C-alpha cells in the first residue's frame, strides 16, 4: 500500500514538474513578492486635501488652517475658486457659512471616499465648530494609539502576504490539480489505473499531497521574499498544507463532474469567488457575512495572519487547524464517493 502510494506521489511530482506547474507556482510566488516589496506601499497616507471656503465674517476656520496647517488645506475666497478647486480629484470641499461664527457646514466629496472617511471628517469638523462656538480655537481631536493592544499593525504591503499565500497556495493549486485530472481524462490514463489494484482514496490522497507540496514551496518562497525567515513556520506550513489538501480534494470533486477543462472553468470561477469572500472580511473587518466562517478559506486566512503578525491569539491558529481537519474529514469521503460515481458508474 505504501509502495503504491509512493509511486502515485512520485508520478504526480513528475507530471507537475514536466507540465511546468512547479515553474508556474514559483514564478507567481516571486511575482507576488516583487509586488509586495516594490509596488505596494507600506502605508496608505490619508491626506484630506481639503478646499476650505469660509464665508463667515471672522473666517476663523480658514485662518486657522492657513496659519497652523498650511499644507493640509487650500483656502479659497469665492464660489468660482471653490468649484474650480473641487474639479481636481481627491479634493474634499468644506463650505462654512454663518454670520460671525460657523453656523452651517457643508462637506463635498468626490463620491469614491469610504463611509468611514466621510464620518471621520464630519466628526472632526463638528469638533472644530463646537470648539469655536465655545470660544476655543479650532484644532484636531487628540489621538491615542495603543500599540500594545491587538499587536502591532502590519505594514499595508505585508498585510497582503496571508491573502497572497492563500490565493496562490490554495486557489492556484485547485486549478492546477483540475488541469492534471483533465489531462488524465484526455489521455484515458485513469482507465488504465482503474483496471489495476490502485484505489480511488490512494489516488486522491496522492494528488492532494503533491499539490500540497507545491503549495508549501509556494508559501515558503513568498514568505522568505517578503516577511523573511523569521516567521512562525510550523503554523504557516501546517495551515497551508491542510488548506491545500482540502481545497485540492474539493477541486478534484468538481473536476470529476466535467469532461473537459472548458466545462470546468465557469463553475470553478464561481466557486473561487465564494471562497475568496473571507478576503473581503479580512480587509473590511467591520463587514459580517452570514456563514462565511464555514468556508475553509476563512480559518485559513486568519490563521495565516496570526502566524505572520501575532496578536496574541494563538487560539485562532489552533481553531483553524482543527476546522481544516474537520473539513478534510468531510471532503475526503465525499471526494471518494463522487469520484467512484463519476468514474465507475458513469465512466466520465
Partner 1 sequence: MIKVEELFHSYTGNGRYAIAGVSFEVEKGEIFGFLGPNGAGKSTTQKILTGLLPVQTGRVAVAGQDMRRPTRSLFNRIGVSFENPNAYRKLSGLENLAFHASLYDVPTTDPMALLRRVGLTEAAHRRVGTYSKGMQQRLVFARSLLNRPDIWFVDEPTAGVDPTTTQAIKEIVREERERGVTVFLTTNNMHVADALCDRVAFLNEGKIVTVDSPRELKLKYGQKVIVAEHRSEGRLKREVLSPLVEGDRVELQRLLAAGQVETLHSQEATLEEVFIKLAGRGLGG
Site residues (CB under 8 A) for partner 1?
Answer: 3-4, 6-7, 10-11, 14-15, 18-19, 187-189, 191-199, 344-345, 347
Q: How far is the CB of 318 from partner 1 (least distance, A)?
A: 38
Q: How far is the CB of 345 from partner 1 (least distance, A)?
A: 6
The nearer residue to partner 1, 199 or 310, going by C-beta atoms, is 199
- Extended strands (E) in 18-168: 50-54, 73-76, 92-97, 104-108
The nearer residue to partner 1, 6 or 284, going by C-beta atoms, is 6
Collect all residues with Cβ–Cβ distance below 8 Å to 294 and sequence separation of at least 6. none
How far apart (Å, rounded) are the C-alpha atoms in residues 85 and 81?
6
Collect all residues with Cβ–Cβ distance below 8 Å to 128 and sequence separation of at least 6. 61, 64, 138, 139, 140
How far apart (Å, rounded) are the C-alpha atoms in residues 16 and 9?
10
The nearer residue to partner 1, 337 or 344, going by C-beta atoms, is 344
Q: How far is the CB of 209 from partner 1 (least distance, A)?
A: 16
The nearer residue to partner 1, 55 or 340, going by C-beta atoms, is 340
Q: How many CB atoms lie within 10 A of CB 145?
A: 7
Q: How far is the CB of 18 from partner 1 (least distance, A)?
A: 4
Pair 151, 310: CB distance under 8 Å? yes
The nearer residue to partner 1, 3 or 288, going by C-beta atoms, is 3
The nearer residue to partner 1, 55 or 194, going by C-beta atoms, is 194
The nearer residue to partner 1, 11 or 66, going by C-beta atoms, is 11
Give the three-state DSSP class for 107.
Answer: strand
Q: How far is the CB of 199 from partner 1 (least distance, A)?
A: 7
Place of cell 508520478: 11
The nearer residue to partner 1, 19 or 63, going by C-beta atoms, is 19
Q: How far is the CB of 261 from partner 1 (least distance, A)?
A: 16
Q: How far is the CB of 181 from partner 1 (least distance, A)?
A: 13
Contacts 24+ apart (CB under 8 A), 193-197: 194/343, 194/344, 197/4
Q: Using alpha carbons, select from 315, 334, 319 the residue that is nearest to residue 251.
A: 334
Place of cell 496574541: 312
**Centroid of chain to Cα 106:** 36
Q: How far is the CB of 204 from partner 1 (least distance, A)?
A: 15
Residue 32 Cα distances to 54, 149, 165, 307, 336, angstroms: 47, 30, 9, 19, 34
Amino acid at each position: 500500500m505504501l509502495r503504491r502510494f509512493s509511486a502515485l506521489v512520485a508520478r504526480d511530482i513528475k507530471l507537475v514538474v514536466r507540465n511546468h506547474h512547479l515553474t508556474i507556482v514559483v514564478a507567481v510566488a516571486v511575482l507576488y513578492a516583487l509586488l509586495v516589496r516594490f509596488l505596494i506601499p507600506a502605508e496608505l497616507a490619508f491626506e484630506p486635501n481639503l478646499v476650505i471656503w469660509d464665508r463667515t465674517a471672522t473666517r476663523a476656520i480658514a485662518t486657522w488652517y492657513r496659519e497652523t496647517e498650511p499644507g493640509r488645506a487650500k483656502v479659497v475666497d469665492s464660489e468660482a475658486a471653490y468649484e474650480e478647486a473641487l474639479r481636481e480629484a481627491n479634493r474634499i470641499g468644506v463650505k462654512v457659512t454663518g454670520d460671525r461664527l460657523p453656523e452651517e457646514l457643508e462637506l463635498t466629496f468626490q463620491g469614491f471616499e469610504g463611509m468611514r472617511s466621510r464620518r471621520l471628517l464630519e466628526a472632526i469638523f463638528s469638533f472644530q465648530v463646537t470648539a469655536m462656538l465655545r470660544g476655543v480655537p479650532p484644532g484636531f481631536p487628540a489621538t491615542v494609539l495603543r500599540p500594545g493592544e491587538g499587536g502591532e499593525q502590519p505594514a499595508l504591503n505585508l498585510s497582503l502576504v496571508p491573502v497572497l499565500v492563500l490565493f496562490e497556495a490554495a486557489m492556484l493549486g485547485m486549478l492546477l490539480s483540475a488541469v492534471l485530472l483533465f489531462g488524465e481524462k484526455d489521455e484515458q490514463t485513469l482507465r488504465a489505473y482503474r483496471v489495476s489494484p490502485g484505489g480511488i482514496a490512494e489516488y486522491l490522497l496522492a494528488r492532494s499531497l503533491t499539490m500540497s507540496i507545491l503549495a508549501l514551496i509556494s508559501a515558503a518562497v513568498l514568505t522568505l521574499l517578503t516577511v523573511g525567515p523569521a516567521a512562525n513556520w510550523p503554523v504557516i506550513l501546517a495551515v497551508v498544507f491542510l488548506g491545500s489538501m482540502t481545497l485540492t480534494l474539493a477541486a478534484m470533486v468538481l473536476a470529476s463532474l466535467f469532461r473537459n477543462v472548458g466545462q470546468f472553468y465557469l463553475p470553478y470561477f464561481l466557486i473561487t469567488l465564494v471562497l475568496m469572500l473571507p478576503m473581503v472580511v479580512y480587509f473590511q473587518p467591520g463587514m459580517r457575512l452570514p456563514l462565511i466562517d464555514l468556508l475553509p478559506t476563512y480559518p485559513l486566512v486568519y490563521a495565516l495572519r496570526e502566524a505572520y503578525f501575532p496578536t496574541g491569539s494563538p487560539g485562532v491558529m489552533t481553531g483553524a487547524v482543527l476546522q481544516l481537519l474537520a473539513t478534510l474529514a468531510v471532503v475526503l469521503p465525499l471526494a471518494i464517493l463522487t469520484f467512484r460515481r463519476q468514474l465507475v458508474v458513469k465512466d466520465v
